[in-house]
Amino acid sequence: MIENLLDPVVLFFLAGLIAGVLKSDLRLPESIYEILSIYLLLAIGLKGGAELHESQLHNVISPAAASIVLGIVIPVIAYFILRRLGKFSRPDSAAIAAHYGSVSAVTFAVVLSFLSQIREPYEQFVTVLLVLLEMPAIAVGIFIARLKTTSGPLRVGTLMHEVFLGKSLYLLAVGLVVGYVLGPHGLLPVKIAFVDLFRGALAFFLLEMGLVASNRLADLKRVGAFLVLFGILMPLISSVLGCVLGVATGLSVGGTTVLATLAASASYIAAPAAMRIAVPQANPTLYITASLGITFPFNLIVGIPLYHQMAIATHSLLG
C-alpha cells in the first residue's frame, strides 16, 4: 500500500480530499473537470487501442466473456444485498447496483499507473475489458428497476443515447478505434499529448476528484451506515469474483489485478447519467455518495494494492 501512496496520482487525490474536508477555498472551474475527463477517456482509449494493435486477439476472448459475466452477475448480487439486507426501495437498489456493476475509467487508469509503478506486467488488451464492463450492468439495473414499477414510458431513445452515445463510452471507443487503426507508430505525432502527459493530467484530475469526493462526504449521514458499509464491502466481493475469473481465464497477475479492480470499481459518469433518466425515482444522492464518496476513494487508497495481493494469492492457489 505504501508503493501506492507514493504514486503522485494518489497523493494529489488525497490533497484534494483534504482541501475539501478542511473547506479550503480551492475550486477548479467546472470546465476543467469536463475537459480532463474527456481527455482522460480519449487517452485511455488511444493507449488501449495502440496496445491492442500489437496483441494476439484470440487471448482476449475468454477474459472478455468473463467481463460480461461480471457485468451481469455483480449488479444482481448488489441488488439483492441492497434490497433484502439494506431494505432499499426497488429503484434505489437497482440504480445503485448498476453503478457497482459498471466501471470507473479513472480507477482503471490508476491501477495501470500502479502496476507500471511496481513493474507488474499485464495483458495489452485490458482496455477492451474496461469497455465491455461499462455497459451490461447499466442495462441490468434498468431492467430490474422497471420490472414492476411503472414510471411512465421509458424514454428508450434518450436512454440508448445516454448509454451507447454517452460521452464516456463514446470517447473510450473513439480512442480505442483510432489507436488500433494507427498503432503505436501512427500515434507518434500525438504521443506527447496523449501518452507522456497522461499521468500528469491524471494527477491534476484526481486533485479535482478529491474535492468532488469530499463534497459527497457531507451526505454520508443522510445515506446511512448500511450504504457506507456496502460501499466498502461490495468492491471486496466483486474483486474476489474478478480475481477468480481472471485466473480462470488465464490472465497474468497484472491482468487479474486489473480485472479485479474493474469489478470493484463503481461508475460515476455513465451510470449516474443513465439512471437519472431511466430510473428517475431513484435518489441520486444514494448512488453518488456510495460510488463517488466511498468506493472511489477506498479503491484508490486501499483497494488497488489489496487487489494486487489478492491476485497474487489467487494465482498461487488456482493458477
Binding residues for a copy of itself restricted to 41-80, rule: CB under 8 A: 42
Using rule CB under 8 A, residue 301 touches a copy of itself? no
Shortest reach from residue 159's CB to a copy of itself, in Å: 11
Spell out, one character per residue from 292 to 311, where the chain touches other proteins: x when CB under 8 A holds, - when not: x-------------------
The binding track of 231-270 with respect to other proteins, each residue x by CB under 8 A or -, is -------------------------------------xx-
Q: Give the integer Cα–Cα distance in Å for 316 and 121.
A: 17
List alpha helices for 22-104, DSSP H: 30-52, 61-80, 90-101
Fill in the amino acid letter for 14: L
Task: Report CA-CA distances (Å) from 187 to 44, 53, 196, 220, 241.
Answer: 13, 11, 12, 44, 35
Would you count residue 181 as binding a copy of itself (CB under 8 A)? yes
Window 199-228: residues binding a copy of itself (CB under 8 A): 199-201, 203-204, 207
Q: Using CB atoms within 10 A of its CB, is residue 59 exposed (0-12), middle (13-18) or buried (19+)?
A: middle
User: Scanning residues 99 to 138, which ones bind Na ion (CB under 5 A)?
Assistant: 103
The contact mask relative to Na ion for 198-217 (x = CB under 5 A, - = no) is: --------------------
Task: Pick left, alpha or beta for residue 154 (phi over 0 → left; psi -120 to 50 → alpha; otherwise beta).
Answer: beta
Pick one of other proteins, Na ion, a copy of itself, none as the site partner of residue 219 (Cβ within 5 to 8 A by kind): other proteins
- Distance, CA of 182 to CA of 232 (rounded, Å): 40
Residue 244 interacting partner from other proteins, a copy of itself, Na ion, none (CB closer than 5 to 8 Å by kind): none
CA distance 137 to 36: 25
Applying CB under 5 A, the residues found at the interface with Na ion are 103, 265
